[in-house]
Structure 1
Amino acid sequence: MFDWLIVGAGFAGSVLAERLATQRGERVLVIDKRNHIGGNAYDRYDAAGVLMHQYGPHIFHTNSQAIVDYLSAFTEWRPYEHRVLAQVDGQLLPIPINRTTLNKLYGLSLSTDEEAEAFLQTLAEPVDEIRTSEDVVVSRVGRELYEKFFRGYTRKQWGVDPSELDKSVTARVPTRVNEDDRYFADQFQCMPAGGYTRMFEKMLDHPGIKVMLNARFEEIRNIIPFRRMIFTGPVDEYYGFRFGRLPYRSLQFEHVTLDKPWHQPVGVVNYPQTEDYTRITEYKHLTGQEHSRTSLTYERSAAEGEPYYPVPRPENAALYKQYEALAEQEKDVWFVGRLATYRYYNMDQVVGQALATFRRIHTALSEVESAGPAALAAAN
């Protein structure tokens, strides 16, 4: 008998397993349908000996000291500030758009934030009500930059035009008037020094935690006894797609190793105008590894396959609300993570959600335990 069954060995499941085992002394079984831990953050050394990310680039960034402190118990950190270039009109230009982007693209010599802001104002088009991803960009930088940097990339990534997507998608990408070419502006930007998989291994290394890989929830849910559950998979799958399938975008990865030390000047290059892939990642920029060869990933978006990104459209949010209503009625089942709550979360946000969930669980169970043996027996 396990105290907990945790479905999924990614950030949400692993953090909760660690907390439940170390802070409450409970027995936890973590299962995952894949043959490895770490979820989509899983990294490995490829045949050439290059450390790469199996499911595309994962860059850790956060403004939360508490989340950094928690994860630091399981890893040391390598400082890394992520930079992305976009191939636009035959040039490699910084994205998010900044003053350097404008100067290179238009042959300008803007030298101050004020000059860059004034120039953007000449491009921006007023939008009465910002509802879609197209509205966000056009109202800030105008239609020409929208077409060059955003529309094609978004159509490849999401399979629909930005005018059909919620404003949250492009609102995640800022526009800057200074020369800051970092992709993120968070206070903490770093990578696990030994890789993500090593961090997960340490997180799950506890005598109270058992990990079972290549294990599907539907195959073992009625075989292995447990008292309570944490589910981090797709919530619609948990309920047998009762109301229909929640739409997700999937990804396809083509991993390549080249016989040269470097391929591109930054970790990620986006292709909003050309190519069928969305971006190329070169991992040595991220990891700091020294190697005579280099490994890349060509990334393509797809309608079918493993679910990666919830599709932010009003009708999908309404469908999720039906599943959420069922989830809220569950006794002793908690739904945590991107797939289980149908939200686009960064890694630090998933860690924060998992830590907050543990605090709620601990508080609730502590109240039951303090009520005496009869209450505890009823809860179990």
Structure 2
Amino acid sequence: MFDYLIVGAGFAGSVLAERLASQLNKKVVICDRRPHIGGNAYDRYDDHGLLIHQYGPHIFHTASKRIFDYLSGFTPWRAYQHRVLACVNGLLLPFPINITTVNRLYGLSLDPDTSAEFFAQRAEPIAQVRTSEDAVVSKVGRELYEVFFRNYTRKQWGLDPSELDAAVASRVPARTNYDDRYFTDDYQFMPRHGFTRMFENMLDHRNIKILLNADYREIASDVRYASMIYTGPIDEFFDLRFGKLPYRSLRFRHETHDVEQFQAGPVVNFPNEHDYTRVTEFKWLTGQTHAKTSIVYEYPCDDDDPYYPVPRPENAEIYRKYKALADVTPNVRFVGRLATYRYYNMDQVVGQALATFDQIAGKRAASEHDGPRAP
């Protein structure tokens, strides 16, 4: 008899399994229909001994000391500040857009003062920013929007930026300084031995049983449990009752090259005619020393594993119907990007899982003072 069946062994499920097992002495069975733990953050050594991210680059960053300290209990870290280049007009330019980007693109000599004026002169006033197009054009103008954002977004999401919520483009704001880091969070690190090792340490507890290659629907009748934590797509849980929630997916083409370095930076974006959106070289991320190098091309698509909830008002309305059902489903908690239809970063999923544990632990603590439970 298990206290919890946790569906999905990614960040949300693994964090909750660890907390429930180690802090509340709960017996947990965690299952995943993939043959490994770690969800999309899963990494592995390929046939050449190179550490690669199977499902595209995952870079950890957070502004939360609590989240960083929690994960530090399961991995040592390697300091790493992520940088991205965009291939534009035959140039490799820093992205998000900063002073160096503009200077090299236009042959200018802007500084922090004059760059702010440069953007202000090109920005188009928009009374109410609703879409990703609005978010970019209102800050940097239409020309930079066309060069860096429009086609990339079309490839990534299968939609024009004018059809997407403003929050998508707001994730990568333009800068009026020389900061070429992709993220500006206080804590920017990579697990020294990889994400999978971190997950292995997290789930290494006597109260946790792991079932892989296992769909929860197939095992639920054979496993006795009191409560469920579900981290998969919420529409699948309810058998698509209100229709399928749209997700964007990715296909990957991994390659190994007989050179120590393939490209000029960790990730190169291609906001142009190529079918792929970006190329990642993993050795930049992992710090591994090796005579060969491994890269991956990313091709966005609709018909593969769900990765990104598509942020549009009509999709949010469908999700609200599923959430209303979830709120009245007894003994099931819905946690994570797919279960709550949110475009969360890894650290945000960890934070949501920790907050969910706090709720569980608080409810349990309160119930202990309410007298004995009814049989």
- Say yes or no: TM over 0.5: yes
Distance 1:85 1:57 in 2: 14
Q: How does 1:277-292 map to 2 (within 5 A)?
A: 277-292=276-291
The residue that corresponds to 2:68 in the other structure is 68
SS in 1 for 2:128: coil
Distance 2:73 2:273 in 1: 43
Distance 1:374 1:255 in 2: 55
TM-score, normalised on structure 1?
A: 0.98
The residue that corresponds to 1:105 in the other structure is 105
**Pairwise CA distance, 1:294:** 0.2
**Pairwise CA distance, 1:274:** 2.8
Q: How does 1:129-148 map to 2 (within 5 A)?
A: 129-148=128-147
The residue that corresponds to 1:269 in the other structure is 268
Aligned length: 375
SS in 2 for 1:339: coil
Distance 2:330 2:175 in 1: 47
The residue that corresponds to 2:234 in the other structure is 235
Letter in 2 for 1:250: S
The residue that corresponds to 1:330 in the other structure is 329
Q: Does 1:81 align with 2:81?
A: yes
Q: How does 1:35-46 map to 2 (within 5 A)?
A: 35-46=35-46
**Pairwise CA distance, 1:129:** 1.4
The residue that corresponds to 2:54 in the other structure is 54
Q: How does 1:203-242 map to 2 (within 5 A)?
A: 203-242=202-241
Distance 1:208 1:43 in 2: 25
- Encode CA deviations 1:175-203: one digit per residue, 9 max, x unaligned: 10111000001011010000000000000
Letter in 2 for 1:232: T
Percent of counterpart pairs with the same letter?
Answer: 62
The residue that corresponds to 2:319 in the other structure is 320
Distance 1:235 1:272 in 2: 32
Letter in 1 for 2:249: S
**Pairwise CA distance, 1:128:** 1.9
SS in 1 for 2:263: coil
Letter in 2 for 1:196: F
Distance 1:266 1:327 in 2: 43
Q: How does 1:133-212 map to 2 (within 5 A)?
A: 133-212=132-211
The residue that corresponds to 1:118 in the other structure is 117
**Pairwise CA distance, 1:369:** 3.2
Distance 2:210 2:45 in 1: 22
**Pairwise CA distance, 1:362:** 1.0
Which ranges of 4 or more aligned residues in structure 1 deviate by more than 6 Å?
none
Distance 1:105 1:123 in 2: 15
Distance 1:359 1:198 in 2: 25
Where do 5+ consecutive residues of structure 1 fail to align?
A: none
Where do 5+ consecutive residues of structure 2 fail to align?
A: none
The residue that corresponds to 2:294 in the other structure is 295
Distance 1:106 1:123 in 2: 14
TM-score, normalised on structure 2?
A: 0.99
Distance 1:281 1:289 in 2: 14
**Pairwise CA distance, 1:332:** 1.4
Distance 2:331 2:51 in 1: 39
Distance 2:369 2:264 in 1: 59
Q: How does 1:353-368 map to 2 (within 5 A)?
A: 353-368=352-367
SS in 2 for 1:69: helix
Letter in 1 for 2:155: K
**Pairwise CA distance, 1:247:** 0.4
Q: Does 1:11 align with 2:11?
A: yes
**Pairwise CA distance, 1:221:** 1.5
**Pairwise CA distance, 1:87:** 0.3
Distance 1:216 1:193 in 2: 31
Distance 1:25 1:121 in 2: 57
Distance 2:332 2:282 in 1: 38
Distance 2:296 2:326 in 1: 37
| Farther off after superposition, 362-371 or 184-193 | 362-371
Letter in 1 for 2:151: G
The residue that corresponds to 1:95 in the other structure is 95
**Pairwise CA distance, 1:374:** 3.1
The residue that corresponds to 2:308 in the other structure is 309
**Pairwise CA distance, 1:174:** 1.1
